[in-house]
């Protein structure tokens, strides 16, 4: 009996579930302008997963990278939800990313 598939499914479910939490908390403390850095981290994880020999590590890096890429597209939507009052809103105490003025002119991706 091979338990790799069911175990990977459970771990994937946990990673995706934690993705919802980090998007909400990340937007609250950092803001949506961090989306390019989150997307780059996710892409780096997916790329690194291509070169991992152990299947477990490769699969987990790929799932985490995809979750980060998805999360980077959700940060802007989460900011809108927070402004609408659906989630806690942190008005002015967010940590600004490097090149924040330049990033404000970029259009955040959406799925």
- The pLDDT of residue 64 is 95
Q: Write the CB contacts of 7 (distance below 8 Å, at least 6 apart in sequence).
A: none
Three-class SS of residue 45? helix
Domain parsing of the chain, residue ranges: 9-91
Query: Distance between CA atoms of 27 and 38, rounded to whole angstroms?
Result: 11
Quick one: pLDDT at residue 63? 94
**pLDDT given at position 89:** 84
Both tokens of 5, joined, read: 């598939």
pLDDT tens for the chain, 111 residues long, are: 888 889 999 999 999 999 999 999 988 888 888 889 999 999 999 999 999 999 999 999 999 999 999 999 998 888 888 888 888 888 778 877 787 778 777 877 776
């Amino acid at each position: 009996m091979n338990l790799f598939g069911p175990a990977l499914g459970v771990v994937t479910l946990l990673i995706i579930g934690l993705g919802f939490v980090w998007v909400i908390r990340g937007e609250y403390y950092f803001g949506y302008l961090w989306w390019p850095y989150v997307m780059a981290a996710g892409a780096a994880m997916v790329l690194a997963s291509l070169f991992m020999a152990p299947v477990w590590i490769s699969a987990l890096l790929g799932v985490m990278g995809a979750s980060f890429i998805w999360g980077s597209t959700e940060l802007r939507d989460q900011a809108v939800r927070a402004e609408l009052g659906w989630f806690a809103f942190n008005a002015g105490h967010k940590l600004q990313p490097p090149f924040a003025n330049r990033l404000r002119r970029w259009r955040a991706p959406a799925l």
